[in-house]
Structure 1
Amino acid sequence: MSKPIDQSDNAVPPNRRRVLECMAWAGTGVVWTVAGGVPSSRLIGSAQAKTAAFSFVQISDSHIGFEKPANPDSLKTLNEALDQAVALSTKPDFMIHTGDITQLALPQQFDDAAKAIGRAGLDVHYAPGEHDILDAATAKAYMERFGKGARDGAYYSFDFSGVHFISLNNVVDLKKNGLGFLGPDQLTWLADDLRDKTDSTPIVVFCHIPLWTIAPEWGWGTEDSQQALALLARFGSVTVLNGHIHQLMQKVEGAVTFHTARSTAFPQPAPKTAPAPGPMLAPPGQLRSLLGITKVAIAPGVSPLAITDSALAK
């Protein structure tokens, strides 16, 4: 199993064009709503869907324990993101965290993260990041704290208000350049999990590493994702949420919408704008404009997915 690389800060200054191309770096929380089984999103603070059936918040890549110049206090910015989630005018039904809860999977980092996230008072569903599971010992520690309802492989599913949610683990047995990997056991489980679902069942998949190939040379993709997507191909509405790349990107492929979230800790460079991925120094005073949360609302009659997000500070 590959271990995460603790890279030095990547001092590539962002410019306006790059920010627009990436739709903003770092960790954002999108407000998701589900209407008629179709997820849609909006900026936190903008008008909410009046007919929302339910909503949930996504946060990602909190990297508790990270203390480098890109963000000397990742716990503080996580708490700011949680404050924003708690302050939403309509309380979300639950929260998902798409991995890299901690920087090095140390017991104190797990404890600090659990305490901070717990104060939001929301039911939380987790998917592990490669910084959370480094070996058998940290996998056990992760499962004890964040693996509620998960199988031994840290993957699971649940249903909420007619929508089927699937949490996948693609951060164990990383492949070339750190590409994610699901593996045959998990794919077999996924096929069985989906077998009794009708084609009209709305599906939301969440995991850490993207299920679409963004930058294979940086490990921004999952080697066997096409096998998983083939199992999802018969469904009329599939939304895939992930973290890992610390910037907002979106892709629509048939009935599948892919969305990557920002981090609550630090930004990373856009593909091909730096020699390697890794923590990136933001211009002075601009870090919080590159961090945030995502809220998803599901409401009847909402048009196809429209991804938006909000920053911790303007």
Structure 2
Amino acid sequence: MTRIFHVSDVHFGTEDRDALAWFAAEVKAASPDLVLVTGDLTAAARTSEFAAAGDWLAGLAAPVRIEPGNHDLPVYNPVLRLTRPYARLARLVARVGRPAVLDDVSLVSLKTTARAQWRTNWSLGHVGRSALARTLAEVRAAPASRPIIAACHHPLVDMGTRTKGSTRGGAAALAALAEAGVTAVVSGHTHDPFDRMWPHGDGAVRLIGAGTLSERVRETMPSYNRITVVDGEIDNFVVSHGEGSGR
């Protein structure tokens, strides 16, 4: 069995410290195989925010994998955003990223962030051709016997939550991932969890979204997802702050 604790939108700078302490205790008690963070570790990609996020992640009792979110690109430094948008995040990953051994599932990354877009709201999702090609290459290299989970920040198609991903190229990317054999796509951005099946051809892809551990809550309290994979089957359970793990 493989256990992944999936968290997103921690937003250091507007983080919920009680929720962070609670999640750290959950990780310590359960020792998951991986803590997967699907973006927006910070509120504005400030150096101080990445430093605080790094301290917290370094203290978690599990390997950590981080995907970029739109808030992890510099908000108030346009020169850095356009020239080296992922530099601060890369330093954080080098500091705290710890590889995990996942025996029952393959995990691939899909970048949905962009340093700039031909629309006014750069916080929305975008899947470029090169990003999708890299992900599909990862999928082809994965063992055929395992389910494949793709991790990204923005939902590839809108899930009816209050916050929308409005991801350009997302539906086409999702169709390509389904054709390539991806079993599920996990994401963040919405600050509210979701878990739905997206029909494609004769099958379906599971779409799983995590909530937030920040003060920027929407419809639900801070939460994370417990994803388990057993004998090729993916299970997901939303754990909310104040309710206990339930498992």
TM-score bracket for this pair, using the shorter chain length: 0.7 to 0.9
Q: Does 1:61 align with 2:29?
A: no
SS of residue in 1 equivalent to 2:225: strand
Q: Does 1:225 align with 2:170?
A: yes
AA in 2 matched with 1:309: V
Decide whether the 8 Å contact of 1:95 with 1:123 is kept in 2.
yes
Equivalent residue for 2:213, pick from 256, 261, 264? 264
Q: Which runs of 5+ in 1 are unaligned?
A: 1-52, 67-72, 151-156, 271-288
Decide whether the 8 Å contact of 1:182 with 1:224 is kept in 2.
yes
Q: Does 1:110 align with 2:50?
A: yes
Q: Deviations over 1:259-293 (max 9, x none)?
A: 111100135445xxxxxxxxxxxxxxxxxx71122
AA in 2 matched with 1:82: A
The answer to which structure has the higher helix fraction is 2
Instruction: Answer 1 or 2: higher relative contact order, Cα 8 Å, separation at least 6.
Output: 1
Q: 1:234 corresponds to which residue?
A: 179
Alignment of 1:82-93 (within 5 A): 82-88=24-30, 91-93=31-33
Q: 1:308 corresponds to which residue?
A: 237
**Shift in Å, 1:309:** 1.0
SS of residue in 2 equivalent to 1:243: strand
- Please report the TM-score for the alignment, with normalisation by the length of structure 1: 0.64
Distance 1:175 1:256, change over 3 A: farther
Distance 1:197 1:110, change over 3 A: closer
Q: 2:78 corresponds to which residue?
A: none
Decide whether the 8 Å contact of 1:200 with 1:237 is kept in 2.
no
Distance in structure 1 (CA, Å) of the matches to 2:140 and 2:100? 14
Distance in structure 2 (CA, Å) of the matches to 1:175 and 1:181? 11
Q: Does 1:101 align with 2:32?
A: no
Decide whether the 8 Å contact of 1:267 with 1:291 is kept in 2.
no
Distance in structure 1 (CA, Å) of the matches to 2:168 and 2:46? 28
Pairwise CA RMSD: 3.0
Runs of 4+, deviation exceeding 6 Å: none
Decide whether the 8 Å contact of 2:2 with 2:104 is kept in 1.
no
Q: Which runs of 5+ in 2 are unaligned?
A: 75-80
Distance in structure 2 (CA, Å) of the matches to 1:256 and 1:215? 17
Distance 1:218 1:117, change over 3 A: closer
Decide whether the 8 Å contact of 1:202 with 1:235 is kept in 2.
no
Distance 1:297 1:162, change over 3 A: closer
Distance in structure 2 (CA, Å) of the matches to 1:217 and 1:292? 16
Structure with bigger gyration radius: 1
Distance in structure 1 (CA, Å) of the matches to 2:35 and 2:231? 21
SS of residue in 2 equivalent to 1:296: strand
Q: 1:128 corresponds to which residue?
A: 68
Distance 1:161 1:175, change over 3 A: farther
Q: 1:31 corresponds to which residue?
A: none
Q: 1:211 corresponds to which residue?
A: 156
Equivalent residue for 1:167, pick from 109, 116, 134? 109
Q: Does 1:142 align with 2:107?
A: no
SS of residue in 2 equivalent to 1:234: helix
**Shift in Å, 1:235:** 5.1
Q: Deviations over 1:7-36 (max 9, x none)?
A: xxxxxxxxxxxxxxxxxxxxxxxxxxxxxx
